[in-house]
Structure 1
Amino acid sequence: MIGLILDEFALALEAFHFLRPMVLLALLPVLAVWWIIRRRATRPQMPREGLAPHLRNALTVGAERRGRVLPIDTSALVIAFAILGASGPSWTRQVDPFFTQTGPLVVVLKVTPSMEQKDVAPTRLDRAKFKIRDLLDLRAGARTALVAYAGSAHRVMPFTEDPSVMLPYLEGLSPDVMPQEGADLGAALEIASSILGEEETPGSILVVSDEMNAGEASAVSDFDTAPITVLSVLPDGQSAFSGSTPSGVQSVTLTADNADVAQIDRITAIAYRRALLEDTSQPWEDRGWWFAVPAALVALFWFRLGWTMRWTAVVLAIAAIAPPQTARADGIADWFFTPDQQGYRAYQNKDFAAAAEAFADPYWQGYALFRSGQYPEAIAVLETLDTPEAAFTLGHAYIRNRQYRDGVRAFETVLERDPDFPDAQHNLDVSKQIVTYVEETRAASDTGEETGIGADEVVFDNEANVGTDTEIDAQPEGDGAPMTADQWMNTVDTNTADFLRTRFQMDLVSAGNSSTSGADEPSATEESDEASEPPAETEEAAE
């Protein structure tokens, strides 16, 4: 942990610079005035020549001032801090709010018979799944993908921000579903690299494995496309590498608590920030406000008796003239931060629900509602705004709320307001594909009502009138009441493991017994933007 803190400090120090370095020239006159006033204040007021030593010491006053802190010292220091803040110190990039605050991560899970050993309770594979689930919870709102490998490697799940979508596929993984024996980590890393290549932001890879053979270790050491972290699912803190850890690879040992998961999250966050520093398309973040804190602490010396207090009269005069504000009793935070500042702090801490409650700015409030999953509420707020950014987020909210045609209209509105808005055309095309996919799926699954088996009563928007709206009239045994749609869905027997086994076999057949990336996924699910999520959910429901 200490090493990670040092790495983070070294990264900040490496990137540190001033956005407005010419402002630092103002320190020169401040230093000159400080030196002149302090020299005059500490100069002896009485000549010492011609006096006996014992009389000179008794009659000379102020000689001890040279070692004291004077008002000019703190005044100059406060002004110096203000100048440093105005010069724009920076060591981080300003991240686009449309991007996740945490980098995308591809989890590569080893699924071999060795992972079923019980030296780590309940088994190595089960413990690995527990750790991945904890990591998904810790990375709330971040984009995560899943790849599994044994003798062949397969894309299990494309990038998603919803852990609940990935969990059924994660639980269905076992050595029985893998079509070939072995441990081809190299093929898995190639798939992970291709998945990351679809993202607009830099990401990293997490390999969850037990002991690595020579081929696996060589694949890790030779891979240089993205940062790699290896979680060793072995007892007693053993490492997956039989020898030393390859250069550039972070190795994390298994722990009984979540310390290993927190370490992984911190490693990936540092790798993400390092990659963002190299992204010249993002502006630098001005950190000048940091110097306000030490300036305020030093200014507290002005309350000392005998120091310059004329500034208090100015403050009182301003307070008397300033118009009264409405009193609030929301907490101490309101004394120091505006609602938008409190909302942004909650947003950075990934507490999107609290951020939505705190934000006063309607766009940020709508965006926070969207990120917290409150899509109808986000739609209600964003529909009142007329900016292209608001329409862009509104389109995503419509898509997530399964109002696909409204999403198409929202992205068309974005292009009307700003034809060059980034990714608007791409999302419009994907949204149209989603509408086509949903309508074709609906038409193909519609069996009519003559047989007594119709489509689900809960349907997507269907403005094109494709298929027939029907309800379920089936009756459960021993009860005269009709089943609801939820009850009917609960009676459907599904097995994720069977689905994965079949899909992995199809991967091998379609690729000529070579490792593939799961080409049978619908094309819309493999898009990297926000609008890519609904087709994945549709596919899962259909399965």
Structure 2
Amino acid sequence: MEVWKNIDWKEFHFLRPEYLWMGIPMLLIIVLGILLYGRTNPWKKKIAKHLQPYVIQKGTTWKSRFIHFSLLILFAIGFVAFLGPTWNKEKSPAKKVATKLVIALDLSQSMLATDISPNRLEYAKFKITDFLKANPRAETALIVFSASSHTVVPFTTDYKIITDNLDGLQPHMMPRRGTGFKALFSKVQSVLTSTEVPSTLLLITDDLDGVSIPEVTAFLENQNCKINFYPFASESGANVPSFSNHKVALRSGGKIVHSALIMDKVKQLEAIEKVSVMQPTLDKSDVKKMATDISDHLMFDKNSDKKDENWQDNGYWLLIPLMALFLFCFRKGWSLMAVLLLVSLSSCNGIEDKTKAKFKNFQFADLWYTKEYQAQQEYDKKNYLKAAKNFKDPMHKGVAYYKAGNLIQARNAFRKDTTAEGQYNLGLTYAKLGDLERAESVFKTLVAENPSITQAQQNLQKIQEAMLKVDKMSVDEKKVGKVKPNVKNKQNDSNEDLGGGGQKATKKDMQTKRQEEEVATGKRKGKELDELPDDFKSGKGSIPKNILMRKVDDDPALFLKKKFNYQVKKRQVEVEKTPTAW
């Protein structure tokens, strides 16, 4: 027992001190038991004194007291072991994950086809999110590609960074149009610098026809990598939307461009070793299976000399006296002590992390009310943000987030609600965000599946009218922007001169100009849109007619778009000449 003789009391502490409060109820139970035990003795006074020696056995009192005292000691030792006493550190080798995973997402124009609802790209984003939630545990990088390939997120195990960047990815961000697999394979090779550890490429695309079999074979020969093709297209296919108006089909050479899955190319790819073609499923089973496969075959860096220095849990030494005391528990009824022993044994392993997570957000109200009831109370008090965090139902969570003004979280919540009411609210939220195209798509689907919802049909018509006004205004702006050749314009070199003629625009001038624009166009910025009516939850609300998509200054997609254009301009990435521009 040298370990106990050399205790450094200056460093002595408990690894789990936050559970000290659990000793209070345990102590109360023990004190209550002692008090109740004292009340069990008065019955002896009811027996005549001359009969007590014949009725009461000698030694019964001290034996029972010894048993209760042993129980008290057993509780104390087990509780101290549970708290994790420590006073020294130990060095353990740190495991570094060497397995790499690259997710390559196609951002060509054909990914906006709607043969997969709501469209191929949005469905692919849902699948990527489900895949990362399944926790493949490998270091993962996200790459987007069209005619050029760009890294959105480098290798990381913090999957939230990837999911946060997924939503804003759209084809219009890409500097060049087309689908260039040769440039993609070159980009993946530059990212996967090491060939010693097997890696995985998850290639999400809808254009398998553009995949060259020799290029795939050459890539696999030079790289220790497995490719999982994930095609997001149906055999019947769909028309590719045009670049300017997604409601109109794209034309090339006078013909409508149609995109479909070619099964012959699927069979050719499946015949290649280390290549698999996944089939999207309606549930999460496909991505869960792939995540499990990657997680089960993780490889770690064996040459890593890095070691972590952690406090050593010395509570396991207390198991020796704990087991010694347990040997005396041979009487009937003491077999219940086995439960206590199991609890004591489990306290010294890694299970405390789950317990800590469970009690991290514990509140006194949790003893009496469920989280849903507490959320409803906060909602009634108009504390919508607190209510949204406790609501589990997507409908209630979405409404609370909407009332709190967090439209992004409201949209994410309504996406999980597959009911007609949930989809109706999703469409309204998209409209509130200014995303008219998605709002139109949601209401179209809702009207097709539930023709009886007349309000949805009315909202769809209003959104389409608003979109036409926006398109018309864009055309008018282009006409106004044309300058006659005989007009002489003087260049304005001053950052403060907003008038163009040397005079500074005052705040009053800007307000007057703003009012004139609102009167002329009948529209206002999205930040000033009218609030949706309070009855929008019931599906009877209406949307404002004068909707104009607002510019979000902190949109990460805008930063990525500028970054991609800069990389192409500076020739930092390879741009492939593709046979098609979609």
The TM-score range, normalised by the shorter chain, is 0.3 to 0.5
Q: TM-score, normalised by structure 1?
A: 0.38
Question: Could you say which structure has the greater relative contact order, defined with CA pairs below 8 angstroms and 6 or more residues apart?
Answer: 2
Q: TM-score, normalised by structure 2?
A: 0.36
Larger Rg: 2
